[in-house]
């Protein structure tokens, strides 16, 4: 629990500091102040391991600022993920493993630097056509001019990249935010007009509930019991199988607590505050132009959707696995969608590639791959049964089927999630063997039955069509 206590103390200090930080009006002062606290937090949890983050910043920023901007995003991606893998493998080379909090800082830094390289590449690509005539269906149109943020991206220097990387907001566990969001928080008036304290208090209200549930269930059903001899020798098959439910519940409560506290750091500092009319989205920011609102900031209502990283209520109450995935770690999902999924050359394998990158980002343990890469194999099963039974259901039948789907959703999350928590392939395989790989076998059987039902329905529909056509032909002949 020592790491969790350090984490909570640091997040608490960062949340409180936001009220003071927000009062500074000069962007340069805010840059310097935010970065100084960020460095202090990083050094306090990492010690000499801080050199990893500084080295990554130096190499990646040199690539972003001075390398060819047509390829800087790909080179930065390769370097940062390669170093992330090396960073986690230093124990095999005889060095001490970096602390857990250092790993989290390195993870967020990877997203920031790679995301920044992609932002620079996009601004550069757009600048090639800025103000020039383009042909679109034989009609000449002027290319869209560069925004102030895009111009700033093309003028990046090492100092600005340093401030973006090591600002105290989000340095520990995120959420991920773009360079545009960071710059807007410094130069636009929105952060001083939004109800930062109110937004923070709303999130803080529910955190004691999640933290309390985490402590309570951890005490009753600790994860380490699932690796004990008693668990495998004295407990029944059913008990072992059902143990995935409390372990994943503990995981959820821990994640909810951590992510909401991280969001509070952002909201108290005014990061990610935009007028609601801008239709803000997690990670992305405004999806509508908000430049016209800068002149009259007092007249608008604000939200922090840009830095909203989790929707706890909808994660818990939505019916399907697919839908729940959309509400979980949404800022990281945005990064994965923008810089992996949409840019992967093969449409056929882009989902698998995105999940593989997500697993690599989480760590080198086999458990991350067992868990995250299993999702694409479960989703077609759920989609099949939703189409077969739920799509056209109504009334009480729909409610019953939705509840069954909800139970299936959390069993799938829990059964896959135990691998994420056990981490090593020996522990994972030992557990799955002890329950006879029930989940995977059950899903294979379920999919096979679903396919047979779908084929049977299709065959019946074709027979009905033929009978209807024959009846119509017979009626036509009789009429003649």
Active site residues: 329, 362
**Three-state DSSP class for residue 133:** strand
CA–CA separation, 411 and 244 (whole Å): 8
CB atoms within 10 A of CB 447: 17
Sign of CA dihedral 120, 121, 122, 128: positive
Residue located via tokens 């294979």: 444
Classify burial at 408, counting beta carbons within 10 Å of its beta carbon; exposed 0-12, middle 13-18, buried 19 or more: buried
Please state the separation of Cα 76 from the chain's center in Å. Answer: 20
Contact 172, 11 (CB under 8 A): yes
For 329, phi then psi, to 5°, come to: 50, 55
Tokens of 446: 């379920």
Q: 403: closest CA among 388, 389, 418, 417?
A: 389
Rounded to 5°, angle at Cα 170 from 363 and 195? 145
| Reduced DSSP (H G I as helix, E B as strand, rest coil) percent helix, strand, coil of the chain, to 5 | 75, 5, 20
CB atoms within 10 A of CB 251: 18
Alpha helices in 25-90 (DSSP H): 27-46, 50-66, 72-88
CA–CA separation, 344 and 350 (whole Å): 6
Q: 38: closest CA among 134, 165, 200, 127?
A: 165
Strands 133-136 and 139-142: antiparallel
Q: 357: closest CA among 88, 134, 78, 133?
A: 78
Please state the separation of Cα 79 from the chain's center in Å. Answer: 21
Q: 10: closest CA among 210, 182, 308, 258?
A: 258
Alpha helices in 178-220 (DSSP H): 179-187, 190-193, 196-220
- State the helix-helix crossing angle for 244-269 and 196-220, rounded to 10 degrees: 160
**Three-state DSSP class for residue 136:** strand
Contact 300, 293 (CB under 8 A): yes
Residue located via tokens 């379920």: 446
């Amino acid at each position: 629990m020592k790491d969790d206590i350090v984490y909570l103390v640091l997040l608490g200090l960062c949340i409180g500091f936001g009220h003071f930080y927000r009062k500074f009006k000069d962007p340069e002062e805010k840059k310097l102040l935010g970065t100084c606290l960020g460095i202090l937090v990083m050094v306090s949890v990492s010690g000499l391991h801080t050199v990893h983050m500084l080295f990554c910043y130096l190499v990646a920023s040199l690539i972003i600022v001075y390398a060819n901007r047509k390829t800087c995003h790909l080179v930065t991606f390769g370097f940062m993920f390669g170093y992330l893998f090396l960073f986690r493998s230093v124990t095999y080379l005889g060095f001490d493993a970096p602390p857990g909090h250092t790993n989290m800082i390195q993870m967020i830094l990877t997203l920031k630097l790679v995301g920044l390289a992609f932002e620079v590449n996009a601004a550069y690509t757009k600048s090639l056509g800025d103000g020039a005539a383009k042909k679109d269906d034989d009609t000449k149109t002027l290319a869209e001019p560069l925004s102030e943020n895009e111009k700033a991206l093309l003028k990046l220097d090492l100092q600005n990249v340093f401030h973006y990387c090591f600002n105290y907001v989000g340095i520990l566990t995120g959420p991920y935010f773009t360079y545009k969001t960071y710059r807007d928080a410094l130069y636009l008036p929105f952060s001083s007009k939004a109800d930062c304290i109110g937004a923070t208090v709303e999130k803080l209200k529910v955190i004691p509930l999640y933290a309390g549930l985490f402590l309570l269930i951890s005490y009753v059903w600790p994860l380490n019991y699932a690796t004990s001899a008693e668990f495998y020798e004295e407990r029944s098959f059913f008990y072992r199988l059902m143990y995935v439910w409390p372990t994943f519940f503990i995981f959820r409560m821990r994640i909810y607590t951590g992510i909401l506290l991280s969001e509070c750091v952002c909201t108290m500092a005014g990061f990610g505050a935009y007028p609601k009319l801008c239709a803000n989205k997690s990670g992305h920011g405004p999806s509508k132009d908000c430049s016209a609102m800068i002149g009259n900031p007092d007249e608008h209502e604000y939200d922090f959707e840009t830095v909203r990283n989790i929707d706890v209520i909808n994660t818990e109450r939505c019916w399907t696995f697919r839908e729940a995935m959309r509400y979980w770690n949404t800022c990281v999902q945005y990064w994965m969608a923008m810089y992996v999924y949409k840019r992967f050359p093969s449409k056929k394998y882009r989902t698998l590639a995105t999940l593989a990158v997500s697993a690599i980002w989480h760590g080198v343990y086999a458990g991350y791959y067992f868990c995250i890469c299993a999702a694409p194999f479960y989703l077609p099963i759920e989609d099949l049964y939703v189409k077969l039974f739920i799509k056209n259901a109504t009334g009480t039948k729909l409610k019953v089927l939705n509840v069954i789907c909800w139970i299936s959703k959390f069993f799938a999350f829990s059964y896959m999630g135990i691998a994420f928590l056990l981490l090593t392939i020996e522990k994972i395989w030992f557990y799955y063997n002890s329950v006879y790989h029930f989940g995977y076998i059950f899903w294979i059987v379920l999919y096979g039955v679903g396919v047979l039902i779908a084929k049977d329905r299709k065959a019946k529909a074709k027979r009905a069509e033929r009978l209807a056509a024959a009846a119509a032909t017979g009626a036509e002949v009789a009429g003649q």
